[in-house]
Amino acid sequence: MDRKIVVTIFVLPSLLSVNTLEAQEGKQVPRIGILRFDNPSDPRSQGLTEAFRQGLRALGYTEGENILIEYRYAEGRLDRFPKLAAELVALAPAVIVTQGTPGTLAARQATATIPIVVGGAGDLVGAGLVATLARPGGNVTGSTNVDPELSAKRLQLLREVLPKVSRVAVLYHAGTGGDPEALKETLAAARGLGIRIQPVSVEEPGQFQGAYAAMVKERANALIIFSSSFTLSHRKQLTELAAKGRLPTMCGEASWSEDGGLISYGYDREHQWQRAATFVDKILKGARPADLPVEQPLQYNLVVNLRTAEALKVRVPHSIMLRANKLIR
């Protein structure tokens, strides 16, 4: 008799949990799909996920209680996106949240009806994903990383840290999701500063060694790496190669400097993913993606890795350190 009582006591919470979940399902708990290029074990990836969850919690949502989330990660492989997008669409989520242009294109090709919220991508207009930033016009909205003034600002910061810089290599991904507009803006800004730009494109990791050899051969003084889903997933290898070639780097977001890059200046991706939760909330409450303006970057971070500066014998001006959001010592 006593044994039966003990078993009942321990089983009851589990039964209550199941009943609670069933009740929630009966109320049609909204399901959100997440389509990402990165790897869930990457600390940067975990930071973006947590930022999204924080955004949801601030709006009254708790994962597993009044909202369900299905995650799909391409883990650095662009070719996986179509299959993963199809898997999410088959689950009929209320919204799909994407990362980067390739993932957003895959989601859009998989569905023209399920709302898609972009947690940060390149030129959404140029990619044909939205009609205009103010009036997206379809099932895609969210945040774009496009800021015409950003390229000039990065070159100015680089010149401030390296006053004698005259030849700068620019590494970018030439495949889907590359950023030709950013290259045009960098070339235009460089002409005004008297800096020569050496564009170097890569499409797969096997080209990295050759790309860096070309930079060294052309005697580049520094390197700008454009952030994309592809380059970010290989950022540790790219920053290590830059260190071996003794190339000071200017990159787009904090994770580059955290992994050894000299300077990063760019939009705050975690803030963009927090904002993605706001878009999701509006859509769940009846708003149409077609009517929700795409947001441009709202917050920027300047991060300097002083350990890398010391290794490269680069003296970082006091004025830069005062303006930095983060100094890595």
By CB neighbour count within 10 A (0-12 exposed, 13-18 middle, 19+ buried), where does 31 fall? middle
Indicate the pTM of the whole model: 0.83
Q: What is the DSSP string of 195-210?
A: -EEEEEEESSGGGHHH
Under the banding of pLDDT at 50, 70 and 90, the label for residue 13 is: very low
Task: Evaluate whether 26-144+269-291 and 150-268+300-328 have a shared fold.
Answer: yes
The mean of the pLDDT values for the chain is: 89
Tens digit of each residue's pLDDT (9 = 90 or more) over 74-114: 998 889 999 999 999 999 999 999 999 999 999 999 999 99
| pLDDT in the model for residue 177 | 57
Residue 219 pLDDT > 70: yes
CA distance 7 to 128: 60
In this prediction, residues 253-263 reach a mean pLDDT of 93
Which residue ranges make up each domain of the chain? 26-144+269-291, 150-268+300-328
CA distance 232 to 168: 20
Q: Which fold has domain 26-144+269-291?
A: Rossmann fold (3.40.50)
Percent of the chain with pLDDT over 70: 90
φ, ψ of residue 135 in degrees (nearest 5): -135, 85
Q: Which CATH architecture has domain 150-268+300-328?
A: 3-Layer(aba) Sandwich (3.40)
- Please count the residues of the chain: 329
| pLDDT in the model for residue 147 | 73
In this prediction, residues 281-310 reach a mean pLDDT of 95
In this prediction, residues 277-290 reach a mean pLDDT of 98
Regarding predicted confidence, which is higher, 178 or 75? 75
Query: Strand order of the sheet with strand 95-98?
Result: 68-73, 31-36, 95-98, 116-121, 140-144
